[in-house]
Amino acid sequence: MKEPLRSLTQEMIPAVEQAMEDVLLANDRAGDSFYGMMHYHMGWVDESFQPLLANAGKRVRPLLALLSARSAGGDWEKTVPGAASLELLHNFSLIHDDIQDASPTRRGRPTIWNLWGVNLAINSGDAMFALAHESMIRMVDRGVPAKIVVHALRRLDETCIDLTIGQHADMLFEERDDVTVEQYLEMIGGKTAALLSFSTELGALVAGRNKDIVDHYASFGKDLGMAFQVRDDILGIWGDETVIGKSSATDIVTRKKSLPILYGLSKSDELIDLYSQSENGENFVQQVVQLLDGVRAHEFAQAYEEKYANSALTHLEAANPEGAAAVALRQLTMILLNRQA
């Protein structure tokens, strides 16, 4: 990680972590199972609720919010509770996603539902959703005008609706054979890109910028989120297993309807027939990849990734970010767009 992104990250992320610990009562309720399950999910404790430093995720969303705030001329420290709110909302969605997907692990550890059951996991997700709102409200305590905080709360809920609509569509797509590329792009616009969009929007909003600038920051985050997800789709088929940490065949074996898969299905009847079979072996995976390569599905998806990436950078420049935070924001953008895992 290059300067100034490294130094700003080292300054900002601990502040976000502290804000999340404050709202989740990490110190006051240590060992309490209600809060402990959330502390476990956040990577702060083990399954016995004893302190532990586990893989807690990259904290990309709060970092985008704080870099956006500073690059837009605002006081990033005032934005910290709002940035923490974004991460809490993201983790609420992950807790529920793990239940819906029956995922036994996340970040190399058993998921909440896998340890304590579905009912308690749902309750933990619900609590984290509520605490995300509590954290957003705390921006008032840092001097952010109440009018801006109320608007941010409205946008938080609108974002959550977009996110859950996207998740709803994603689950329905699992049972459908007629999903189009356009429908898929609309789905990831909600499930993945909406929260990234609000992250960058929030920074400019708290900085007090006008609507045009706020909209450019929001569009930057939205297109960055779209490119990020398409990149994930590409890595899910053609990624290096030693880098991404999982089999690159996973998306094929699980019949995930990612962008390259949907394009391939629209171009190859042979792939449709193959995908309808129950086989999941290595030969099956190789056949699917060969058919995808035959219709240039990788190139198709890559073109969309580049389209969204270019649009994101165009909106970022139109927002006219300033200072070291602007450089860091561009650096973070390139890291996300060029990632190999």
Statement: residue 243 has pLDDT above 80: no
Predicted local distance difference test score (pLDDT) of residue 30: 67
Domain spans of the chain, in order of start? 5-337
> What's the rounded mean pLDDT across residues 190-209?
99
Domain 5-337: CATH superfamily is: Farnesyl Diphosphate Synthase (1.10.600.10)
Query: CA-CA distances (angstroms) from residue 4 to 253, 298, 312?
Result: 41, 34, 21
CA distance 306 to 118: 39
Characterize the bridge pairing of strands 109-110 and 105-106.
Answer: antiparallel
pLDDT by residue (tens digit) across 98-119? 999 999 999 999 999 999 999 9
Nearest to 171 by CA among 159, 160, 181, 179: 179
Under the banding of pLDDT at 50, 70 and 90, the label for residue 242 is low
Distances in whole angstroms, Cα of residue 97 to Cα of each of 113, 203, 322: 11, 27, 37
Q: Is the pLDDT of residue 19 over 70?
A: yes
The answer to whether 48 touches 38, Cβ cutoff 8 Å, is no
Write the pLDDT tens digit of every residue in 316-341: 999 999 999 999 999 999 999 998 87
A 10 A CB-CB count for 314 gives: 14
Percent of the chain with pLDDT over 70: 97
Interval 29-71: pLDDT, tens: 767 899 999 999 999 999 999 999 878 788 999 999 999 999 9
Total-model pTM? 0.95
